[in-house]
Amino acid sequence: MNAHRGSAVLSSATLKVQPTATGLSENNRLRLFSGSANVPLAQEVARYLGMDLGPMIRKRFADGELYIQIQESIRGCDVYLIQPCCRPVNDNLMELLIMIDACRRASARQVTAVLPYYGYARADRKTAGRESITAKLVANLMTEAGANRILAMDLHSAQIQGYFDIPLDHVYGSPVLLDYLASKQLPDLVVVSPDVGGVARARAFAKKLNDAPLAIIDKRRQAHNVAEVLNVIGDVKDKTAVLVDDIIDTGGTIAAGAKLLREEGARQVYACATHAVFSPPAIERLSSGVFEEVIVTNTIPIAESDRFPQLVVLSVANLLGETIWRIHEDSSVSSMFR
């Protein structure tokens, strides 16, 4: 694999992902459209599938309202709408809802919302009185807008799948990350969960890396986006530590974890995450020198101003494209991750 720091990399996603979509452009029942949130990723998915993105008009009225019109007939078609709910979250979510409604009213046979990143997912349960469960609210909004199916990548918690009363296919960015890490042949590897809640994710990750040992960072969160790191459970001395998480937002948790691992004697520290939210001051924390590499995927677009030497961005386009093709052909999706 050709990997370049600070720039996007098209990954083959070799783990059980095969290019079965040959000749798809001849299938006139499949349509692929992209919202404005991550057009480059949607274009890569379209190339994998051997087709073009469907034409669509998107504009704003003077008061900020969005207008969307599909520019080709989709009557009786299976439509896939690619739109991560990343920053600006409210605009991108509303754009997706309008796209779904437009396709439903255009008599599409089935509308699938493809969410490389599911916004509002972190409020997935009530932890205090008088709170909203926004992960469920967003699920209701997409269902009521007219989505027939959801394709989501690396949900913040697996329970979100149960918030939908329509089919949901949950795929993972880990094959792309694992493929890259395996190519580096890192010595004395230990996989580290940045908190207790991520242990299951880290354990599954470690199993795929030849049953690498597991360590856990004991952490207490005092407020949103504020974390206090206490200690490491497990042996990391003279080892190559790989911190695994689903999201890097402000980078506070993972950067503090990396500093602690260094203090505990880790020889090298790598960070892996599917979703690079990168809210300030994430860039300053991640580029401070505590990481050899920060490895993420392109589910969320990363501005050139937010790139730094240690950053490695891997593409999930082939994985998403293969999943779309399998859904369209009524084939197994879970077999891609066995």
Catalytic residues: 219
Distance CA 62, CA 222 (A): 42
Residue 129 Cα to chain centre, angstroms: 30
For strand 30-34 and strand 56-60, is the pairing parallel, antiparallel, or unpaired?
unpaired
Distance CA 206, CA 272 (A): 12
Q: How would you label 215-254 residue by residue, b for 16+ Cβ within 10 Å and e otherwise? A: bbbebeeeeeeebebeebebebeebbbbbbbbbbbbbbbb
Which sign, positive or negative, has the C-alpha torsion 208, 209, 213, 215? negative
Where are the alpha helices (H) located in 209-312, listed in sequence order?
252-263, 282-286
Distance CA 326, CA 28 (A): 16
Amino acid (one-letter) located at 135: A
Amino acid (one-letter) located at 270: Y
Residues 206 and 255 sit within 8 Å (Cβ to Cβ): no
Q: Which helix (H) or strand (E) holds 219?
A: strand 214-223
Tokens of 275: 């979703």
Any bridge partners for residue 193, and if so which?
Answer: 216
Residues 282 and 245 sit within 8 Å (Cβ to Cβ): no
- Cβ neighbour number for residue 46 with a 10 Å cutoff: 23
